[in-house]
Amino acid sequence: MGETVVGGVKLAWQQMGEGPDLVFVHGLAASRAFWFAQYALPLQDRYRCTMYDLRGHGYSERAATGYSSTALAADLSGLLDGIGIERCHLVGHSYGGGVALEYAAAQPQRVQSLCVMDTKVNALQPRQMLSDMPYLSAFEIDVAEKSGIDWAMEEQIGLRFLEVVARLKAGNAELPSRDAVTPFGEGRGAARTARAWVDLIDTPGVREQLLQPGFSADVLADKLRDTPLLLIYGELSRCMPSCRSLSALLPQAEVEVVPGGGHFFPLSHAASVRPRLKHFLRA
């Protein structure tokens, strides 16, 4: 494990394995541990796998600003410079996929291939409504009932849901059900991680930064037109409008829809997702 200071913020990272560089970017309220057991460990025999914690997450330092996908892509660029990675395969989940897209569009020559997993791209999907996928799991229904929010009217349902779960878990609220993968996990560690997310999302300006659009559709289409791209989205995802827009913008994109997969399918469906990723990387 290592630490590298980028833009005055200490970023925590780790590497394992040998071979071509493969870099993983996690989503909001997660950490590099998201990738460790199901992806980095099985792939380390073929790739040098690098995982890191976004600023304000895991063991990386928190700052008052710098949480837009564009700013976090600059963090990624500085980190890769600092640890000597000139070119890599890049994989991002959720908000981490937006960071990966921004980095790849800014420096396409440094990205050998790009895999985006269940990412809402703000420039392509400025709103995320319940109607984008009206299905609710038992856990989501429990959270909705406790929140008192009219979810049908919520325009950023993913971010709002994450916030509500964090506040419930930080307050040690009892939820009678759980998903195959639920945000923040379980037990004392879950409450601690949830409180950290609440502190971050309550920092003035952070919520607005998380919703900034980043590169426009025209820029993405221009800069990424030659980048090998794999889009993996869950069948039950509310990010599918982003998937459809990306595949229309970038005809070279391979698209994989995970049957029965929700937002956290990289973990819940790792047994089927990992072979698909391996095939793409080899190709």
14: amino acid identity, one letter: Q
Ramachandran angles phi, psi of 267, nearest 5°: -95, -50
- Work out the burial of residue 8: count CB atoms within 10 Å of its CB; fewer than 13 is exposed, 13-18 middle, 19 or more buried: exposed
Residue 177 pLDDT exceeds 80: no
C-beta of residue 52 within 8 angstroms of C-beta of residue 12? yes
pLDDT given at position 140: 87
C-beta of residue 116 within 8 angstroms of C-beta of residue 232? yes
The structural domains of the chain, ordered by start, are 2-125+213-282 (3.40.50.1820), 130-208 (no CATH)
- In a 3-state reduction of DSSP, which class is residue 172? coil
pLDDT given at position 218: 96
pLDDT given at position 217: 95
Residue 166 pLDDT exceeds 90: yes
pTM assigned to the model: 0.96
CA-wise closest residue to 119 among 240, 252, 276: 240
C-beta of residue 7 within 8 angstroms of C-beta of residue 32? no
pLDDT given at position 145: 85
Residue 114: both structure tokens together: 């790009």
pLDDT given at position 238: 94
C-beta of residue 120 within 8 angstroms of C-beta of residue 234? no
Residue 134 pLDDT exceeds 90: no
Residue 80 pLDDT exceeds 80: yes
What is 9-47 written as a DSSP string? Answer: EEEEEEEE--SSEEEEE--TT--THHHIIIIIHHHTTTS
Higher pLDDT, 155 or 179: 155
pLDDT given at position 283: 87
Residue 187 pLDDT exceeds 90: no
Report the distance separating Cα 1 and Cα 182, nearest Å. 26
Read off the pLDDT of residues 205-242 as tens digits, 9 standing for 90 and up. 999 999 999 999 999 999 999 999 999 999 999 999 99
Residue 183 — pLDDT band, cuts 50, 70, 90?
Answer: confident
C-beta of residue 119 within 8 angstroms of C-beta of residue 101? yes
pLDDT given at position 142: 86
